[in-house]
Chain A
């Protein structure tokens, strides 16, 4: 177990692993929902340290990966318009739309700017009153409150040249969609810790009950993941299916009430398409009618864009845990981080990128361009 040296507390890691090895009697398939967790797992080889009976299935929790192609194409279209300053988080720059990405739009003269926070985009709008400033508002329940606050501020300060291109998604409906899929093999979930920091754990007991599936709120560090796996496997071995919080240092059961109140004010529920997966009912947010003026889709007419997904990309199956990235024929051959076919090969949280970066090339023999993080 050479990897164990890299753990922050190798002794604790060893004890958690021993514990998992000693309780497992049967095969179990667990899904880590969050892309950040997928990266920790692959980076530290956690899946290889676990007993063979415990399989980790990678979930749809990469916000960049699940943003629908149609929305990316709308972003590219808006960003190309003269007079527009298009602001985005850095992760979106190389996500392929139909034929190009934001990085290329900037190369062609578009004013694309990367911000650390949505408030930075609002600031840019204040400084450029004669320009239209659009912020690309994607992400899960962790990112939605900052974006909601920014729109709230824009309204409060009377900033009229600011709008949001919104594509927010929520985790619980995705869990539900995965459990309802006829091919579903998932028997337990490691729920995304930071989503729960905001939303609390109140949405999960009903899901755990209905699908008889343990849901363990899990953090992002290697030891957090091991602890999450340990608690999930324990429940499964005992035939239990409850919601358990293995990340109490950052997750209070009630979450963050101030953030939830702002979400309820600025957004309303809507059906959302997930890239590669399709529409999941009531799985996202859009701006509520009070904030319609700040909706970039209303401000710019971007309907009727011809959107085409590369046929060979199987990221939808990857995102649902039905296919491991290296089982995709394009993986490492026609699809690499340099020439990505799907968002899951671009995003720092995408499963295909994780497999590529950490050399899980069991199937392909393609030459490597990227080297693993030391």
Chain B
């Protein structure tokens, strides 16, 4: 969770008086708050942490980082289903529990 992931702004809108953006993290799309980087424009890259853009990043380094994170499976760690990960880590005693998502039972 201390990981911050670079993403590209694809859309910006005002919501409840808050500047929000749609940000693409190499395929995973999330809503991101731009209040801390009010000058960020569509097409630009930023480092995003828990749904907030914190610092602008140039395109080249953003792309490189994303590619690396993707290869290392870190995007899955950041954006994957946390219940599934927790169930998997907790072991087989959860296998019969309906609460646990299907994929976690494998």
Q: What residues make up the interface of A, taking CB atoms closer than 8 Å to B?
A: 8, 34-36, 43, 61-64, 89-91, 93-94, 103, 106-107, 114, 116-120, 139-140, 142-143, 145-146, 149, 153, 156-157, 192, 194, 197-198, 220-221, 249-252, 256, 258-259, 262, 337-338, 346, 348-349, 369, 373-374
Taking CB atoms, residues of chain A closer than 8 Å to B2 are 34-36, 61-63, 139-140, 142-143, 192, 194, 349
Q: Is the CB of A143 within 8 A of B68?
A: no
B16 at the interface (CB under 8 A from A): yes
State the CA gap A220–B69 with chains docked (Å): 10
Q: Are A250 and B55 in contact (CB under 8 A)?
A: yes
Q: Are A36 and B86 in contact (CB under 8 A)?
A: no
Sample of 9 A–B contacts (CB below 8 Å): A8-B64, A35-B2, A61-B2, A63-B2, A90-B86, A145-B36, A145-B52, A197-B55, A338-B89
How large, as a class, is the contact surface on chain B? 35 or more
Q: B19 → chain A, closest Cβ, in Å?
A: 11
**What chain B residues lie within 8 Å of A346 (beta carbons)?**
89
Q: Are A146 and B82 in contact (CB under 8 A)?
A: no
Q: Please, which residues of chain B bring their CB within 8 A of the CB of A157?
A: 16
Measured between alpha carbons, how far is A103 from B52 in the docked complex, in Å? Answer: 26
Q: How far is the CA of A140 from the CA of B2 in the complex (A)?
A: 8
Query: When the two chains form the complex, which single residue of A90, A142, A373 contacts B4, counting CB atoms closer than 8 Å?
Result: A142
- Give the docked Cα–Cα distance between A290 and B90 (Å): 41
Q: Is the CB of A117 within 8 A of B90?
A: no
Contact of B30 among A43, A116, A348 (CB under 8 A): A116
Closest to A259 in B: B36
B51:A103 contact, CB within 8 angstroms:
no
The CB with the most chain B CB atoms within 10 A, among A64, A106, A259, A369, is that of A259
Interchain CA distance A73-B63 in the complex, whole Å: 41
The complex places the Cα of A106 from the Cα of B36 at a distance, in Å, of: 34
| A15 CB, min distance to chain B CBs, angstroms | 17
CB distance from B18 to the nearest CB of A (A): 7
Checking A8, A117, A337 against B51 with a beta-carbon cut-off of 8 angstroms, the contacting residue is A117
Given A103-B90, A116-B51, A153-B18, do A90 and B35 touch, yes or no (CB 8 Å)?
no
| Interface class of chain B by DSSP | mixed
Contacts of B77 in A (CB 8 A): 348
Residue of A nearest to B67 (CB): A8
Is the beta-carbon distance between A118 and B54 smaller than 8 angstroms? no
> A146 touching B83 by the CB < 8 A rule?
no
Chain A residues lying within 8 Å of B18, measured Cβ to Cβ, are 153
Determine whether the beta carbon of A256 is less than 8 Å from that of B55. Answer: yes
Closest A residue to B3 by CB, please name it.
Answer: A36
CB-based nearest B residue for A106: B99
Contact with A along B50-81 (1 / 0, CB 8 A): 11101101100100110110001100010100
Tell whether A251 pairs with B3 under 8 Å between CB atoms, given A143-B50, A194-B47.
Answer: no
Contacts of A145 in B (CB 8 A): 36, 52, 54
In the complex, chain B residues 85-100 whose Cβ is within 8 Å of any chain A Cβ:
85-87, 89-91, 94, 97, 99
With A103-B86, A153-B18, A258-B36 known as contacts, the answer to whether A146 contacts B51 (CB < 8 A) is yes
Given known contacts A62-B2, A338-B91, A117 and B52 CB-to-CB distance under 8 angstroms: yes
In contact, A118 and B51 (Cβ under 8 angstroms): yes
- A64 contacts which of B1, B38, B99 (Cβ < 8 Å)? B1
